[in-house]
Amino acid sequence: MGFVIQSGFIYLPVFFMLAPSFVVQFARMMIMNLCDYESDLIVNKRTLVVGLGPKRTILIYGFSHIFSYSFLIIIYLLGYISLEIVLTTLCTLPISIWQYKRIKKGGYKGKIANSIVFWASTHSVLMILAVYLGIILEMWFSNYFRIGRNPNLFVFCAILPFIYLIVMLKQIIIPSTHR
């Protein structure tokens, strides 16, 4: 958004590579509200999930993920994004399928509701990191950008997502006693 405001235009490849992440982020917010569905009904809180109901919300969640991953392939075939970006982002697809199955079975109501929310949030972040990693790999393999000319730029681009990934993996692998 800051780039668009400062530059005055929307660079379509950037929009196209991030659009699936935006849709998944919207679905994540719906799932967070789905976990509160029953309490929201009791206090008469009006949310999108209360208006749609759990069945429609879960259906929209599934379709939003199908759309996101299908859109990636379509924009690749149209030449807007690179294969590296598609492949790294598709690496997050198993999380999407696993999450959908858990939500469809009613996991948003039970003991794993916090896990559902955690993985919905983690999945949306992982998609963005996957796009970022795809850009880095595209730079690595591209004829337009040679690492040997400016290795510091490559290291700078690569280090941030890896630091985040390490922190996230630490939280997943070493469970906290507070969860």
Q: What is the DSSP string of 39-78?
A: HHHHTT---HHHHH-HHHHHHHHHHHHHHHHHHHHHHHHT
- Give pLDDT, residue 95: 92
How many Cβ atoms sit within 10 Å of the Cβ of residue 91? 13
Distance, CA of 46 to CA of 4 (rounded, Å): 33
Instruction: Tally the residues of the chain.
Output: 179
Res 20 pLDDT > 70 = yes
User: pLDDT (tens digit, 9 = 90+) per residue, 49-60?
Assistant: 889 998 999 999
How many Cβ atoms sit within 10 Å of the Cβ of residue 178? 4
Q: List the chain domain ranges.
A: 2-173
Which has the closest alpha carbon to 87: 141, 163, 42?
A: 141
Distance, CA of 12 to CA of 45 (rounded, Å): 38
- Percent of residues, the chain, with pLDDT higher than 90: 33
Centroid of chain to Cα 173: 20
Distance, CA of 57 to CA of 50 (rounded, Å): 9
Instruction: Kindly report the pTM of this predicted structure.
Output: 0.75
Let me know: does 135 contact 16? Beta carbons within 8 Å.
no
User: pLDDT (tens digit, 9 = 90+) per residue, 88-111?
Assistant: 999 999 999 999 999 998 888 878
User: pLDDT (tens digit, 9 = 90+) per residue, 141-161?
Assistant: 776 555 555 555 556 666 666
Distance, CA of 127 to CA of 34 (rounded, Å): 21
